[in-house]
């Protein structure tokens, strides 16, 4: 019984020492499926709208990602082109693959990692984004 109390105290200290950002980063690894898309018409009235899609993006422990769709084309048709790249959890960015260089005029995309959710912000003239849910 005496051995259990120090172990419980140590475990409690470890849990309390993790801040919310560390917990989000730890939970961020996994496969996400597209559930909503945001496209603003130019007047600020845009909202996320549900979509049916088999688009998936997988964030991996080694700070790489893979997709099962053409990541370079936000408004494009569904394709089965898989893509791979790197992401930075601290800076909350995805590095755009070199194959996108003809279509994109930027090399990173801003992301927002929340528990069970990933939002990718594209650089559109008007706002556009995709929201993914952790499977």
Residue 115, pLDDT above cutoff 70: yes
Domain extent for 125: 20-134
Q: What's 34's domain CATH number?
A: 2.40.128.280
Give the three-state DSSP class for 111: strand
Domains: count for the chain:
1
15 is a domain residue: no
Q: Is 93 a domain residue?
A: yes
CA atoms within 13 A on the CB side of 69: 17
Structure tokens at 124: 């559109």
The segment with the largest mean pLDDT, out of 25-29, 76-80, 92-96, is 92-96
- Residue 83 has a pLDDT of 86
pLDDT band at 101 (very low <50, low <70, confident <90, very high): low
Half-sphere exposure of 65 (CA within 13 A, CB side): 28
Average pLDDT over residues 79-88: 85
What local confidence, expressed as pLDDT, does residue 13 receive?
46
Which DSSP letter does residue 115 get? T
Q: Note whether residue 4 is domain-resident.
A: no
Q: Are 50 and 131 in contact (CB under 8 A)?
A: no
Residue 13, domain member (yes or no): no
The pTM score is 0.76
Nearest to 133 by CA among 61, 70, 56: 56
State the CB neighbour count (10 A cutoff) for residue 130: 24
Average pLDDT over residues 49-72: 92
């Amino acid at each position: 019984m005496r051995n259990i109390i120090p172990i419980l105290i140590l475990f409690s200290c470890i849990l309390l020492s993790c801040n919310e950002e560390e917990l989000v980063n730890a939970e961020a690894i996994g496969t996400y499926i597209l559930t909503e898309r945001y496209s603003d018409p130019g007047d600020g009235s845009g909202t996320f709208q549900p979509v049916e899609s088999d688009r998936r993006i997988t964030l991996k422990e080694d700070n790489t990602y893979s997709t099962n769709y053409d990541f370079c084309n936000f408004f494009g048709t569904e394709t089965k082109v898989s893509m791979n790249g790197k992401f930075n959890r601290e800076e909350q960015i995805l590095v755009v693959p070199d194959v996108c260089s003809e279509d994109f005029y930027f090399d990173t995309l801003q992301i927002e990692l929340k528990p069970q959710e990933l939002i990718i912000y594209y650089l559109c003239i008007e706002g556009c984004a995709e929201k993914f849910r952790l499977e």
